[in-house]
Amino acid sequence: MRKVTTLFCAALTTLAAIPVTAGAAIALDRTRVIYNEGDKAVPLTVTNEHLSKPYLAQSWIENSTGQKITSPVFVTPPVQRIEPDRKSQIKVQLSPEAASLPADRESVFYLNVREIPPAVEKSNVLQIALQTKIKLFYRPKAIQVQERMEKIAGADGIRLSQNGGQYTIENTTPYHLSVTRLDATGGKEVKFEPVMVSPKASASFSAPALGNAPVVYYVNDYGDSKPLKFSCAGSSCTVQSDSK
């Protein structure tokens, strides 16, 4: 899933009286990156969608705690100028330290691309720069598949359990499970805070009662939302065969 955040504002006069210019100019060609062990690099297309102004694109990698890193994953070039209505590339690569990453499960990082607009001539214009942040998954050889996964491999082992107003998802797969939506029995969507469950780990969340046939939606390798249909007996739920 792609996350776009407002980065900074530049203005010297009262905000209420300032015209605002907004709208992302720099765009990536995908919403997540899968880096398979053995790949020399993963190229991504970066587009300046503004029709008349050049933009700088600043790129970097963060680890799972939000710290900027240059190892074991890095991106080049760190800064580049992209002309109006033109495309360019960035490349995600591994450093030698990647050899220490887990060999039995995915590792997650975050690719950030910040757009830097050209300076404006008018002093009373408020500029809003946007930053795109997408997930970057490093996938070791032991768990690689030939193509991107339409459905998560090993989904039949995923478990859902209830304890009062709390639900727990147990992710038995070696892949990250990004849960974005919950439907109660009958198809009614319920409110909850989306969660990413690490490989071979579990995560808990609060939600209204889901009944005995809830549906959990997760994001696949293509960035699409896919359902996992569960069947519950008491407080324990297992994945139905047609979701595997």
Q: What is the pLDDT of residue 22?
A: 57
Walk along the chain (244 residues) and give the pLDDT tens digit of each residue.
Answer: 566 555 444 433 344 444 545 568 999 999 999 999 999 999 999 999 999 999 999 999 999 999 999 999 999 999 999 999 999 999 999 999 999 999 999 999 999 999 999 987 777 767 778 999 999 999 999 999 877 888 899 999 999 999 988 999 999 999 999 999 999 999 999 999 999 999 999 999 999 999 999 999 999 999 999 999 999 999 999 999 876 6
130 and 211 housed in the same domain: no
- Report how far residue 175's alpha carbon sits from residue 108's, in angstroms, rounded to the nearest whole number: 10
Residue where a domain stops, chosen among 143, 177, 198: 143
25 and 132 housed in the same domain: yes
For residue 8, being part of any structural domain is answered with yes
State how many domains the chain has. Answer: 2
For residue 150, being part of any structural domain is answered with no
25 and 133 housed in the same domain: yes
Nearest-CA neighbor of 222 among 34, 26, 4, 28?
Answer: 34
Q: What is the pLDDT of residue 184?
A: 96
17 and 104 housed in the same domain: yes
Q: What is the layout of strands, in order, in the sheet containing 73-76?
A: 26-28, 42-48, 86-94, 73-76
Which residues lie below 8 Å from residue 190, measured CB to CB, with a gap of 6+?
A: 182, 183, 184, 207, 208, 210
CATH number at residue 236: 2.60.40.10
- Report how far residue 22's alpha carbon sits from residue 126's, in angstroms, rounded to the nearest whole number: 9
43 and 124 housed in the same domain: yes
Q: What is the extent of the structural domain holding 9?
A: 3-143
48 and 110 housed in the same domain: yes
Q: What pTM was computed for the model?
A: 0.87
123 and 183 housed in the same domain: no
130 and 171 housed in the same domain: no
118 and 191 housed in the same domain: no
159 and 135 housed in the same domain: no
137 and 228 housed in the same domain: no
Q: Dihedral sign for Cα 174, 175, 176, 177, please.
A: negative
Residue where a domain stops, chosen among 113, 143, 173: 143
Tokens of 206: 């609060």
123 and 225 housed in the same domain: no
What is the chain's alpha carbon radius of gyration, rounded to the nearest angstrom? 21
